[in-house]
Structure 1
Amino acid sequence: MDTRAKIIKGAAELFTKYGVRSVTMDDIARELSISKKTIYQYFKDKDEIVLMAVQSHAENEKEDYNYIFNRSRNPIEELTLMTRCMRDDFRDMNPSLIFDLQKYHPQAWKVIEDFKNSYIKNALVKNLRDGIQQGLYRENMDPEVLAIMRLEQVQLAFDSRLFPPDKFNLADTQLQFLSHYVNGIVTEKGRELYLEYLDKLELHQTKTTYNNEI
């Protein structure tokens, strides 16, 4: 890994853990055991680091989800693997991260919004349509409406006014929302298959073990 990539990776880890606003250039330099001068040789300011970190995250997410889409044998298996991937993403994420990006880093936030409203939405719509065709999801649904609702569910959990971090765990809240979503779309056949996959894939595993599953 070259120095530029190392800085992006290290900064991203700090942003995820502490939020963006509270992390300074000094914090990044200290975490990576390099000088602040070295960081400025590669990036003009913190905003550029944030943008690069978010872009890198979006590309990594695409790789993870593309792997899931290419290997899943049915929409339920796809949804189960997406469930665990999402759980892993949110496990150590500071809830303030989304607020910080929205308020202080509009370019980075646009990357997230574009990723959500195009790539993720399209994936959800396809999953819903395939599930309906295979009798795993209810027929009387509009995939576009349900996909948008699901995207907004994810974002809602980051609202500290509704879910203050001292009272609600982000990952647990997200999984509660997901459980509500799944139980609202599956047929009895789909629910049985979903529960079967949950038991089989053991959600305590991490997404680094995907290659050894099933």
Structure 2
Amino acid sequence: MNVAENILEKADALFNKYGIRSISMDEIARELGISKKTIYQYFKDKDDMVYQITRNTIEKDKSEFEAAMKQSGNLVSALVQMSKCLRENFNKINPSLIFDVQKYHPQSWSMWMDYKNDFIFNTILNTIEKGKTEGIFRQEINAEILAKFRIEQVQMSFDEKIFPRNKFDFKEVQLALFDHFVHGVLTPKGLKIYDDLTKPKGNA
């Protein structure tokens, strides 16, 4: 790992733990045991750091998404793996970090929204459309509406104003919403595959 990567890794950990706005460049330098001047040799300012962290996170998430899709044996499995990736990636993020990016780092927020509304949306959309041709997803559903709904459903579950963490378990909320979603879009054939995938091992 080179110096720039090491700085980004430490900054990412601090931002995720405490939020972006509450962490200064001095604190990042102190945690790394280097001077603030050294940080500025690699990054223009904190906004530049946030942008590069966001870009790296998106590229990592894309790779995980694509790997999960390739490992899926069928389209229902692909949908399950896709939702697992979304759940795990969102669960790593501190809600205050999302708020700070949205409010104080517009370029990074725009990049994140493009990723969500382009890459993730089209991946879900294409899965549903293909599943309809294979008789796994219901023919009458509007794939575009349901793909958008699924993305917002994941994001909604992360909103502490709707599902406060002191009352709801994040994973439980995600699994409940996903189960509700698949029962609304799958045909009996698709539901049979889903039940086989999610049935606890050892059951008949």
With normalisation by structure 2, the TM-score equals 0.87
The answer (yes or no) to whether the contact 2:135–2:187 under 8 Å persists in 1 is yes
Distance in 1, Cα, partners of 2:165 & 2:154:
15
Listed as ranges, the gaps of 5+ residues in structure 2 are none
When structure 1 is superposed on structure 2, of 137-146 and 9-18 the one drifting more is 9-18
Shift of 1:6: 1.7
CA shift in 2, pair 1:197/1:28, >3 Å: farther
CA contact (8 A) 2:86 2:154 kept: no
Task: Pick closer, same or farther for the CA change 1:171–1:105 going to 2, 3 Å.
Answer: farther
Q: 1:200 to 1:46 in 2, by over 3 A?
A: farther
The CA distance in 2 between the partners of 1:187 and 1:127, in whole Å, is 14
Cα gap change, 1:61/1:102 in structure 2, threshold over 3 Å: closer, same or farther? same
In structure 2, distance between residues paired with 1:8 and 1:187: 45
Residue 200 of structure 1: CA displacement? Answer: 8.0
Aligned partners of 1:90 and 1:171 also within 8 Å: no
1:182 shift after superposition: 1.8
Moved more, 96-105 or 191-200: 191-200
Question: Which residue of structure 2 lines up, in the alignment, with residue 138 of structure 1?
Answer: 138
| Alpha-carbon distance in 2 for matches of 1:145, 1:200 | 31
Checking the alignment, whether the CA contact within 8 Å between 2:58 and 2:115 is kept in structure 1 is yes
AA paired with 1:155? Q
Counterpart-to-counterpart distance in 1, 2:168 and 2:27: 27
| CA distance in 1 between partners of 2:53 and 2:82 (Å) | 22
Q: Is 1:54 the counterpart of 2:30 in the alignment?
A: no
- Matched with 2:102 is 102
Partner amino acid for 1:39? I
In structure 2, what is the equivalent of residue 206 of structure 1?
none
For the pair 1:175 / 2:146, whether they are aligned, the reply is no
Contact 1:90 1:170 in 2 (8 A): no
Amino acid at match of 2:189: K
1:184 pairs with 2:187: no
- Matches of 1:36 and 1:86, distance apart in 2: 35
Identity of aligned residues (%): 43
CA distance in 1, matches of 2:193, 2:69: 17
Aligned partner of 2:115 in structure 1 is 115
Cα 1:83–1:148 change in 2 (3 A) is closer
* C-alpha displacement of 1:58: 0.7
Q: Distance in 2 between matches of 1:4 and 1:95?
A: 25
- 1:199 CA drift (Å): 5.0
The answer on whether the counterparts of 1:154 and 1:174 sit within 8 Å (CA) in structure 2 is yes
Give the structure with higher Rg (CA): 2
How many Å separate the matches in 1 of 2:54 and 2:176? Answer: 26
Pairwise CA distance, 1:134: 1.6
Q: Which amino acid aligns with 1:26?
A: D
Which structure would you say has the larger RCO, counting Cα contacts within 8 Å and 6 or more residues apart? Answer: 1
Map of 1:37 onto structure 2? 37
Q: CA deviation at 1:171?
A: 4.0
Deviation at 1:169, TM superposition (A): 4.0
**Over residues 103-141 of structure 1, what are the superposed CA-to-partner deviations in whole Å (9 max), with x where a residue is unaligned?**
111110001000111111110101101221222221110
Aligned pairs, number = 201
| Aligned alpha-carbon RMSD (Å) | 2.2
Once the two structures are overlaid, the 10-residue window that deviates more, 178-187 or 123-132, is 178-187
